[in-house]
Structure 1
Amino acid sequence: MRHIPTPDLQRRRLLTGAACAGAAGLLAPFAARAADYPQRPITFICPWPVGGTADQSMRALCQVASGVLGQSIVVENRAGASGMIGTKSLSQAQPDGYTIGQIPISVARFSQLGMLQLDPRSELTYLARTSGQTFGIAVLASSPFKTLKDVVAYAKANPGKLSYGHAGIGGATHVGMEEFAMAAGARFNAIAYKGGAAALQDVLGGQIDLLADSSSWAPHVESGKLRLLATWGESRATRFKDAPTLKELGYDVVVEAPNGIGAPKGLDPAVERKLRDAFRTAVQSDAFKQVADRIDAPVMYLDGPDYQAYVAAVYQQETALIARLKLKEMLQKG
């Protein structure tokens, strides 16, 4: 005997079928957009000034990625607030895949210091970690300090007398130098600048004793104007193998501040995959590696989800570091 559905069961089936059809109808436009993406140029927000090392590396990546995607990627520089102005603009853009940008790892610190009003662990889409930076401590070639050991000995004997220039309170050069000072049991006179270029000019002019910066010092070390006392990476810099790392010298401090690429939260998963694939190809390209070598930016690739996990781990580390170095108090004092 054939079973005849009750009116209630028939109604439920009709409603279920209508719901599935409705969901399919809603999803179809997204699927179509993802399949056709990108149909127009993509804007890439670089949160640093034109011509800097970050700008150079991002432009090299965008050039390769645009070839993979078949659309131009237009770099817009929105500098200021240690990279946080551009990052904030990125987070507020439409999550349609047509606005992407650089996400510096400093978001983990500045979001906790109140300089970026978002939680980087959950309010951004991560596409790739790209490359790090080569930080170091440099002095004039005529400086009496021949080694970092000389610097530490003098700083311990004369607390707060030796001055060093850095690119801004709470930034990688400031925090890295203060981590080193704490590990060495020394105290320095930290001079904050609005960028590494200004600090470099003052150390070249003899106004400050030490420079803590990424590789702005590189050409001056090669020309003999500056002496590089130490670098801050996990291993020695390729171009400056004579300079020891802080770890080699007995200080458990590593600062590489890797850069990454991301998009606003809510990006369509299919669009996200296309962008992740494009920038994976770009980071692994010879064109990018040549630029990275030239600006002393070691390639440190991670896929988007892995970079997001890395940011979350760094966020926890920064929580402890902010408390240990009393960074909030430093910012309040200016």
Structure 2
Amino acid sequence: MTDRLPVSAMRRRLLLGSAAATAAAATGTVSLLAPRVARAAGVYPDRPITFICPWPVGGTADQSMRALCQVASGILKQSIVIENRAGASGMIGTKALARATPDGYTIGQIPISVARFSQVGLLQLDPRKELTYLARTSGQTFGIAVPENSRFKTLADVVAEAKANPGRVTYAHAGVGGATHVGMEQFALAAGIKFNAIAYKGGSAALQDVLASQVDLLADSSSWAPHVEAGKMRLLATWGEQRTPRFNTVPTLKELGYNVVVEAPNGIGAPKGLPPEVEKKLRDAFRAAVASPEFKTVAARIDAPIMYLDGPDYRKYVSEVYDQETQLIQRLKLKEMLAQS
């Protein structure tokens, strides 16, 4: 004869079994469903990504980064939110990036000037070891421009006045120790002249004061370009290895006899310690973004030559620039210059 439990006992056993299963699932001891749920939730990126741009809104670097992020967000199928943290020649944003959680949800532009500022004490990290590099993207077209009504018609006019009156000629730049400041000081050293440098938080503010004739010269990436084309400014020289196609009648500093070349390419990176699978996904996304027609159109408009390098190659490039900057800092006495400012 088969023993049968009373209906009430069977009910109690079923309820106890259900409770035990629920407890096991909560503690993770026995569950087939929990691992599947965890894997689905962990697919990167599953929420918006913050992109730190260390320059003010509207500048050429900001425009370049926004164009790249727009394309990359489509590839990653996740929004990328631009956060501008300007100041200290790009180092405020860089410090914020370096301190962020290395989970792929905070990335940003890394100015090549990290190689310089880390050696003069304005950035407390070693850029060769303490950042993750995702891509070198594009360069910049730097130049010296003046208002249309300026007394300077050529760069030779600038040099002649600066020699006759050391410290009288003023120029606006985007921050002490940054590419525009150091480039002009390299030029001054090569020409044997002395300028009066006026620092701004970004190129846009510097441009406005030069247009208003408050400062003699503008040293900047191509914020001057539309104003030159409109006849409101005159471009005296560019700083690249070769003439820029858009302004091919304007000589380079090198052509004029000054061995100064400044390109300061833009790069994208993340905090140290990024998970390898996340790093790969971001590198792939920005590689495709740099190659996209959308980005190439914006890059051409702001005179930003494509200079792509994958993350590991960009890291090697930063190390090479670091060594070059060591010599430049000594030659320009940049530490003393920064101390005075």
**Displacement, 1:35?**
8.2
Deviations 1:129-164 (A, max 9, x none): 011111111122222322212222222233222221
User: How far apart, CA to CA, are the structure 2 residues paired with 1:184 and 1:32?
Assistant: 62
Report the Cα distance in structure 2 between the residues aligned to 1:317 and 1:114, rounded to whole angstroms. Answer: 17
> 1:136·1:232 contact (CA, 8 Å) conserved in 2?
yes
Unaligned runs of 5+ in 1: 1-27
What is the aligned counterpart of 2:96 among 89, 97, 111?
89
- Counterparts of 1:183-198 in structure 2 under 5 Å? 183-198=190-205
Task: Give the whole-Å Cα distance in 2 for the aligned partners of 1:239 and 1:310.
Answer: 27
Partner SS, residue 111 of structure 1: helix
User: How many angstroms apart in 2 are the aligned matches of 1:271 and 1:131?
Assistant: 23
Matches within 5 A, 1:40-59: 40-59=47-66
**Alpha-carbon distance in structure 2 between the residues aligned to 1:226 and 1:56:** 21
- Inter-partner Cα distance in structure 2 for 1:162 and 1:40: 51
CA contact (8 A) 1:100 1:262 kept: yes
Residues 228 and 264 of structure 1: is their aligned pair in 2 closer, same or farther, counting only changes over 3 Å?
A: same
| 2:240 paired residue number | 233
The corresponding residue for 2:150 is 143
Counterpart Cα distance in 1 of 2:204 and 2:80? 28
Asked which structure has the greater CA Rg, the reply is: 2
- What is the deviation of 1:59? 1.4
CA distance in 2, matches of 1:156, 1:32: 68
Match of 2:208, SS state, is helix
Query: What is the deviation of 1:260?
Result: 0.5
Identical pairs, percent: 79
Q: C-alpha separation between the residues in 2 aligned to 1:157 and 1:61? A: 46
Q: 2:176 is aligned with what amino acid?
A: I
* Structure 2 residue corresponding to 1:170, chosen from 162, 177, 187: 177
Higher mean C-alpha deviation, range 111-120 or range 70-79: 70-79
Tell me whether 66-75 or 170-179 shows the greater mean CA deviation.
66-75
Q: Which amino acid in structure 1 is aligned with residue 201 of structure 2?
A: K
Cα RMSD (Å): 2.0
Question: TM-score, normalised on structure 1?
Answer: 0.87
Structure 1 residues 186 and 118, CA, compared in 2 at 3 Å: closer, same or farther?
same
Paired residue total? 306
Cα drift, residue 197 of structure 1: 2.5
Q: Residue 217 of structure 2 aligns to which amino acid in structure 1?
A: L
SS of the residue aligned with 2:70? Answer: helix
Residue 120 of structure 2: SS of its match in structure 1? Answer: coil
Q: CA deviation at 1:270?
A: 1.8
- Report the counterpart of residue 160 of structure 2 in structure 1: 153
C-alpha distance in structure 2 between counterparts of 1:33 and 1:122, whole Å: 33
Q: CA shift at 1:96, angstroms?
A: 1.3
Distance 1:34 1:102 in 2: 28
**1:77 partner amino acid:** N
Once the two structures are overlaid, the 10-residue window that deviates more, 121-130 or 60-69, is 60-69
C-alpha distance in 1 between matches for 2:242 and 2:338: 31
Contact conserved, 2:59 with 2:203, CA < 8 A, in 1?
no
CA shift for structure 1 position 258: 0.7
> Could you list the runs of 5+ residues in structure 2 that have no partner in the other structure?
1-34
C-alpha displacement of 1:208: 2.2
TM-score w.r.t. length of structure 2:
0.85
Query: Is the CA contact 2:146–2:218 (under 8 Å) kept in the aligned structure 1?
Result: yes
Q: Distance in 1 between matches of 2:169 and 2:43?
A: 59
C-alpha separation in 2, matches of 1:162 and 1:80? 25
Secondary structure of the corresponding residue to residue 83 of structure 1: helix
Question: Distance in 2 between the 1:84 and 1:223 partners?
Answer: 33
Q: Give the structure 2 partner of residue 305 of structure 1.
A: 312
In structure 2, the partner of 1:74 is 81
Deviates more, 1:273-282 or 1:193-202: 193-202
Q: Does residue 246 of structure 2 align to residue 246 of structure 1? A: no
